[in-house]
Each structure stands twice: as C-alpha cells, then as structure tokens.
Amino acid sequence: MARSKHPAWEQILGAVESPARAPSEIQEHIRTCDDCAVVAEEARRILESLSAEQLPHPPRPLVEQTLAALSQRLRDREASASARLQEELRALAARLREGWQAAAAALIADSWRASPALRGSAGTGSRMLIYETDDFSIALSLTNDPDSTGRSLIGQVVPRQGTSLPPAGWVLVRQAPEVVGERLTDLGEFQLAGLAPEIIDLDLVLGDKHVSLHLPSGS
Amino acid sequence: MSNHPGRCIDRAQLVHGLVAGDETAWREFVEQYGRLAYAAASRLGMTAEQSEDLFQDTCLLALESIQTLRDPGRLASWTYSIAYRRAIDALRRQRPGVALEEVDADADAPPALVHAPEIAAELERLEETASLMDAMAQLDSRCRRLLEALYLETPRMGYNQLAQREGMPIGSIGPNRARCLGKLRSLLRGLSNPLLRPSTGGKQDKGRG
C-alpha cells in the first residue's frame, strides 16, 4: 500500500483487534507509517481502557454519611443565602423609607387600556404594562395565581439607547409586614410569585438610581 | 454495573443540578463520580480510614467548588483532579518525607508523581478512566448506548441481543461500533486526553475516523 494512501480508521481498528485476520498490507503499512502507528496505538489504548477493571464502590454507609453531610451543607448554604437576601432587602427598604428620590417613570402602554375587552378576562388573564424613565424601559406582566388569591409579577428592565443595565439591580415589593424582592438577572429580568392581591407599589433599584412605580388601580 | 460512572446521565443537566444545589444531582455525583476518589485512595495504598476521608473530602470540596468547573464535559477529570490533590496532601501530612513530588504547577492538571513509577502508572490509568468517562458523556446517545452495551455493562451484551434492543440489523452493529469508537477517539483528542497524550507525541493526525 502506498504511503500516501493511509488505511481507514475501521481498517486500523480491525488490525488492532484481530491482527491475525488483518490483511498483511494493512499490518505492514501500520508497521512502517508513523502516523498510522499512532492511530493504531490510540485504538489499542481506547479498547484497553474500555475493558479496564471496574472502579470500586465505596461502602454504602460511607455513601449515605457523605450524602447527609452534603445535604446539611446545602441546607446551611440555602439558609445563609436567604438570610443575606433578607438583610439586603431590609437595608434597601430602609434606604427607600429615608426618602431616596425616585426617577420619574411614565406609563406608556397598558394592555387593558389598549384592549378594554381583555379586562373581562381579568380573573385569569395577564395585564401588561410598560413604563419608561430617561434611562430604562420597564415591562411588567401581572397575573392572578391560578391556585390562590395571590398574584405573580414577571418583568424586565431594559436599558434605553446610550445606557446600560447596572450590575446589581433589585426589585422590591413592600407588603406588610415584610419586604419581598429579588435581584434582577443579568438580562434585567425578575419574577415574583405569591404577592398579595392589593400590591400596587413597586420599587426598582438600578445602581444608584431608584424607580418607584405605582401600578394603575384595578391591576 | 458499569465500569464508567455517569453513563446514561445527561452531563450538562447533571452539572446544572450540581451548581443549583439539587440533592438528586449530588446523589448521582457521590454515587458515581465519587468512585474515582475511592479508587485513587486504593491505588495510593491508603488505609480504609484514609480512603473514607478522601472520598468524603473530595465530595465536599466538589460541592464548595463546583462553580469553578469551567467545562461540564470535564466533570470526571475535574473530580479526579480534586481527589488526587487531596490524596497527595493527606499523604504529605502523614509522611512529610514521602517520595512524592509535584512537577506540574498547572492548576488544571494533577501534579505528577515522579518517584513512584508503579503508583504513577496506576494513577495514570485512573486518570485515563476519568477522561474516558468525560468523552463517553459527550458521545451522541446512540453511540453511547452501543459502546456501553458492548464494553461497559455487566454482563456484556452480544450482537444479537443488542441488535434486538436497538432495532438495528445485526450486520450494522460492527460498522456502527467502529464509527462510534472513531467518534470517541476524536472526542478524546479534543479533550487533550491523557489516554491519547503519550502516544501522539506531537505528531499530526491525518484526520481518520
């Protein structure tokens, strides 16, 4: 076989697995061609590794003990994250109470106003609202939770031309006795569920800016 | 039972669960990938107590550092690397003068053993197993099922049985097997895999498979 015409992978694999049955010209080529010798060695090692002895199984009690330790750490981590979130929310709420001046936001679109007929489905449908400040567009979708009296709020803050989204944005809903809220995602999205039905005030903290939204009545 | 843990599990989904702190994902990790740590302990000649410590330490350290796993496709190699480093640390603490030496400071690669060739060979095989697990996890599901049935399941499946299970002509199993092994080889090369590293020696592949 000419040096320029290398055997196919399948032929080399066959020669590695069953040398006795491999055509002599293939064997000879592998023997004299460095490149094909490398491929043959790779095939041999892959087959060898696939057939290697089994990894040992650790004793079952050790596995269960390790899982219990992991589970405890996960619970600790979750509790700690939740406590940190509440602490940050309380600090932001305190700052808002101190009179942090809000940037003006204008309601520029309301799906119920655009299509009054939709209001008839208010019991289950969503109400879409769009606000704008000088720097941001804020899209909101309010939905009644199907299996409770609470409501869900899904929203996204999008920077307007020439601005960017601050890295650590927050959305807060003040509902007595607590403040609920969450961080915005990198894309400025948020989703809050189980909100009290009467909620109409929403605070968005966007870097050093604060936007306060008073949702229209009947939302 | 499989030689290579993690089979049949969608790797990206598993890693997503691990990062999210999902307990089912962590159970999968402990039961399957933790075996690499247990095997490393055994190959380093650690006592039962040391082996248990290494197994648990590796799993807990994985929980603490899963966010640093840059490539989900390398979960097994990453786990092995954690286990290896913890094992070397443990042995150093136990025997400060032990003839082990780090020669590779690359943070992504386990340090190499230079004074214990027989142990090094055992560990190299384990590192290869981890790499093979990573490559298998990246194969398309059809190839993965085929290779697992032929090589990893106990008892191994014959061509007849496999043809029936997969609904494919028996005559196509051989060519499919070769094609899947070729894909596996390509994946191993893409992973800069230790399984292929020593033999390639910088030579250029001609693009077979």
- Domain A103-214: assigned CATH number: 2.60.40
In this complex, do A71 and B199 lie within 8 Å of one another by their Cβ atoms?
no
Q: List CB contacts of B153: < 8 A, sequence separation 6 or more.
A: B1, B2
Identify all chain A residues contacting B38, using CB atoms and an 8 Å cutoff: 55-58
pTM here?
0.69
Q: Give me the residue spans of the domains in chain A.
A: 9-97, 103-214
How do residues B161-208 score in pLDDT, each as one tens digit?
Answer: 989 988 889 999 999 999 999 999 999 987 666 666 654 333 334 444
How do residues A61-106 score in pLDDT, each as one tens digit?
Answer: 999 999 999 999 999 999 998 888 888 888 888 888 787 778 889 9
- Determine how many CB atoms are found less than 10 A away from the CB of residue B101: 12
How do residues A123-176 score in pLDDT, each as one tens digit?
Answer: 457 889 999 998 899 999 988 777 777 788 899 999 987 778 888 899 998 776
What are the structure tokens assigned to B139, written together?
Answer: 């194969």
Cα(B178)–Cα(B180) distance, rounded to whole angstroms?
5
Identify all chain B residues contacting A71, using CB atoms and an 8 Å cutoff: 23, 26
Cα(B190)–Cα(B71) distance, rounded to whole angstroms?
13
CB of B200 less than 8 A from some CB of A: yes
In this complex, do B60 and A49 lie within 8 Å of one another by their Cβ atoms?
no
Q: Which value does ipTM take for this structure? A: 0.77
